[in-house]
Amino acid sequence: MNDDHRLDEALRALPTAPAAPRERMWAQIQASRAARPRPERRWRWAGAGAALAAVLVLGIAVGRWTGPDAKTTARADATAAEALTARRADGYRQAARLHFDRAEMLLAGFQAQPNSADAPAAVRTVTAAWADDLLTQTRLLLDSPAADDPDAGRLLRELELVLAEIAALPDSGSAAQAARIADGLYDRTTVQRLRLARAL
């Protein structure tokens, strides 16, 4: 006989375990739980909740009695809004001044040496690209509060036209057209007005 058969016989010879008395055990567990007294936890937390609510009400009342009145708050809000508006206006004015400075450099150089026929193509291309960049910035400033100032708005609109003409020169322009733009800058004193606007 091999070992497996002996093991099977030994297992059969063992007595079988009786069935567990589950119903009786469960009945004892339920009886012991029912007999145990339950503490009243609800009332313990109710006192803490009432104390917390009282502190909250007291804090709100103290804040209302000691806080600023509505007039003071309204005045402070109005003053803060005016200061913010003034700061924004100063920022736009500063941006316009810097823009006028860059535009003056381009236009003064163009006026001194308009895109003549003997200028290299690279110079004409760089000048046109610079004018195109300034044209974009000019249009942004025209849509901003910087254009609310009548003088600045008028100068920005004139600058937009001149820069559009200069930006289009390498593609469509001739030496005569460049000279006409330079003469127009001189006649309208655009560069001098840019200098004045930058200084203000």
Q: Which residues of the chain have pLDDT under 50?
A: none
Contact 175, 120 (CB under 8 A): no
Residue range 61-103, pLDDT digits in tens: 787 777 666 666 666 666 766 766 667 778 888 888 899 999 9
The whole-number pLDDT of residue 136 equals: 93
The whole-number pLDDT of residue 13 equals: 83
Residue range 94-117, pLDDT digits in tens: 888 899 999 988 888 887 775 555
CA atoms within 13 A on the CB side of 119: 20
> Which residue ranges make up each domain of the chain?
85-199
The whole-number pLDDT of residue 132 equals: 92
The whole-number pLDDT of residue 41 equals: 60
For 12, 36, 61, 100, the CA distances from 135, given in Å and listed in that order, are 103, 88, 59, 12
**Length of the chain as a residue count:** 200
pTM over 0.85: no
The whole-number pLDDT of residue 30 equals: 86
The whole-number pLDDT of residue 188 equals: 80
Instruction: Look up residue 144 and give its DSSP letter.
Output: S
Within 10 angstroms of residue 115's Cβ, the number of other Cβ atoms is: 21
